[in-house]
Amino acid sequence: MDLLRWRRSQQLGATANAPRASDCPSSRSTRRSFRRLARAHTHAHLARRRRRPSRPPPPASFPRGPRARARPGRAARSRDTPERSLEKPARTSQTTMSAFAMSASAARPASRVSPGGARRPPAARGAVRARAGSKSMQLPFRVGHGFDLHRLELLSEMPDLKLILGGVEIAHDRGCVAHSDGDVLLHCVVDAITGALGLPDIGQLFPDNDPKWKGCTSDVFVAEACRLMREEGYEIGNIDCTIIAQRPKISPHKPAIKANLCKMLGCEEAAVNVKAKTHEKVDSLGENRSIACHTVVMLVKA
């Protein structure tokens, strides 16, 4: 009777009629079967509560399958389709594509694009590179850096030496040892200008093993560098020089050095700056055994 009551409660699907512990029979095997069936009834009832309501069947005109429902803006596909279309809808608007093409063409290097807008062939690009070796590229501005250092020796040991900075002779107990007049500032300026133009340094343009440059004044080198600069179509934008020397003091000579530089370079005083630093008694510069200079120049298109 207990098993019949349980089967009836399972058919009705009501938890109130589920078998209770008090209805459990006394036999051991019967009790084991009763507990097993009671657990199965509880799991089946919970599963029915969690089950979602069934959806109504789709109309007959809709194709069946996991991808049968058509999304907005797309055609419905079915499993009966022999093969998919590989064409994807273009999601980028025409305006966006044209703007991207304009920006790409603007970012393309000028050396690879001809005046008509067509891409230059590899032979033409090689010709541009070959011309760049002898003639600087026509950029709106160019920047160059120069550095030079000369050894200082006592005048008591080498009385023919002089200390010249920017074409101005400065009284000192030491002089520069060099092939020319040893003007470290003007040599640095020449290196900065030729470096901005992409040309060799002063040692290659005016080698120290050439007798014609022996004892030559450095304004000759500056004049040649300025000639090359103007030949390329540039002029001085601004120039900044830093002299490094422990002694003598450069401050009293700055106005004369600056005026002479402006005259040689052919530019305004506002475009020339001359600074001086000591080396805090460190190494040969700080021990007054050498003198050095750094120069940065910007050339602008004339």
Give the H or E element holding residue 276. Answer: strand 272-277
Where helices occur in 206-297 by DSSP H, the ranges are: 219-231, 254-265, 283-286
The rounded distance, in Å, linking the Cα atoms of 18 and 4 is 12
Kind of pairing between the strands at 234-244 and 272-277: parallel
What pLDDT is recorded for position 216? 84
Range 141-301 classified under CATH 3.40.630.30: no
- What is the residue extent of each domain of the chain? 2-48, 141-301
0.75 exceeded by pTM: no
Q: pLDDT averaged over consecutive 10-residue blocks of the chain (302 residues)?
A: 62 54 60 76 70 62 54 49 48 48 48 46 42 61 95 92 93 90 93 94 84 84 93 95 95 95 94 95 93 96 88
Cα–Cα distance measured from residue 163 to residue 186, given in angstroms and rounded to the nearest whole number:
12
pLDDT of residue 22: 55
Quote the CA–CA distance of 276 and 243 in Å, as a whole number.
Answer: 5
pLDDT at 13: 56
